[in-house]
Structure 1
Amino acid sequence: MIKGLYEAHLPVSNLKRSIEFYENLGLELDHIVEERLAFLWIEKDKSWLGLWESENVQLEYHPSIRHIAFQVSLEDLKKSVGWLQSKGCEPREAFGFKPVEPFVMAHDSYAHAKIHFNDPDGNSLELICKLENPKKITKRMYLSEWEELNAHA
C-alpha cells in the first residue's frame, strides 16, 4: 500500500528567499499557490517539499514539526561539509558531534551517516544515507572512524 513519502511541509517567513535557498540546494520549483505556498521537487515526480509562508514560523523547535532529512549517496555525504559551505550553509552540531564531517548513528543491522544544517528560518535539515553494519556496531562516531573500523569487514 504505502510506497514512500510524497511530500513534507515547512513554515517559512519569506517565500521568495526560501524558494531561492532550496533551489540553491538543487530542488526544482514546480508551482506556487496564491503567493503563500510553493512546491519544490526533491525528486522529480516522486517527492516534494511544500513551503508555507507564515507569520508563525518561530515555533519552538521540535524535530516532529520542523525537520526534513534528504537522502543522499555516501559519496555525496562525504563531500557534504564543503558542498553546504559552497551553498552558503553552515553545517551545525547535532547529537554532540561537531560539524567537521558527517557522523554515524548505528543500530544492530544498519546505520545512518548524516550531517545537519538549518534553512534561513531555522528549520532543521539533514543529509542522510543508510549504511550496512556488518560488524553490528552500536556506538555513535564520525564517518571517518566508521570507515576505518569497517575497512576490513
Structure 2
Amino acid sequence: MEFYTGLGIVLDHIVEDRLAFLWIVKDKNWLGLWKTDKVELEYHPLIRHKAFQVSLEGLKNSVSWLKNKGYKPREAFGFEPIEPFVMPHKDYAHAKIHFNDADGNSLEFICKIDNPKKLTERMFLSEWEEINK
C-alpha cells in the first residue's frame, strides 16, 4: 500500500486490515489491494499488469520522478529505461515507461499520442518527437 500511495494514489478505506481501496482517479477508478502471505500466481500480463494513463508532460518527467521516489524504471520491449519509448499503431501511438511494484507486478505509465506520419517503428520518445517536428 505504501508503494501505491507513494505514487500519489489516494487511500480511501481499509477493510479488516487485509483489503485496501485506493482512488486512482477520485470517484472514477479504484485499485483494490489484498494482503496475503501466499500468492501462487505466476506473472502473466493479463493478471499482474496495470497501466496508468498520464499526461505527455508527466510521462516525459517519469523516469526522474520514479527515481526520486526510490522506484526503478525497467527495461521493456527491448528498451532500456533511460526515457519513455513509443509503440505506434495506425493512427495513434502509445508512449510509455515500465516499472514494478513492491510485489513484482508490472506497472506502466502510458500516454496516447498522435501518429501524424503513420510511423510503424518503435523508438524512444525523444526520437519520435524529433521525427514528428
TM-score tier, shorter chain, comes to over 0.9
Whole-angstrom CA distance in 2 between matches of 1:72 and 1:102:
12
Q: Which amino acid aligns with 1:150?
A: N
Whole-angstrom CA distance in 2 between matches of 1:32 and 1:68:
21
Equivalent positions of 1:109-120 (< 5 A) are: 109-120=91-102
Whole-angstrom CA distance in 2 between matches of 1:95 and 1:121:
21
Residue 85 in structure 1 maps to residue 75 in structure 2? no
Tell me by how many angstroms 1:59 deviates. Answer: 2.4
Tell me by how many angstroms 1:20 deviates. Answer: 1.2
Question: Counterpart in 2 of 1:45?
Answer: 27
Paired residue for 1:59, among 22, 34, 41?
41
Paired residue for 2:112, among 113, 130, 134?
130
Q: Which amino acid aligns with 1:96?
A: G
Q: Which amino acid aligns with 1:95?
A: F
Equivalent positions of 1:135-146 (< 5 A) are: 135-146=117-128
Question: Counterpart in 1 of 2:103?
Answer: 121
Tell me by how many angstroms 1:130 deviates. Answer: 0.1
Whole-angstrom CA distance in 1 between matches of 2:88 and 2:115:
8
Whole-angstrom CA distance in 1 between matches of 2:101 and 2:59:
18
Whole-angstrom CA distance in 2 between matches of 1:95 and 1:58:
26
Whole-angstrom CA distance in 1 between matches of 2:39 and 2:93:
32
Question: Counterpart in 2 of 1:98?
Answer: 80
How many residues are treated as equivalent by the alignment? 133
Deviations 1:34-62 (A, max 9, x none): 11110000001110100011233352111
Flag structure 2 segments of 5+ consecutive residues without an equivalent: none
TM-score (norm 1): 0.85
Over the matched positions of the two proteins, sequence identity in percent amounts to 73
Q: Which amino acid aligns with 1:145?
A: E
TM-score (norm 2): 0.97
**Runs of 4+ more than 4 Å apart:** none
Residue 20 in structure 1 maps to residue 20 in structure 2? no
Judge which range, 109-118 or 47-56, deviates more. Answer: 47-56
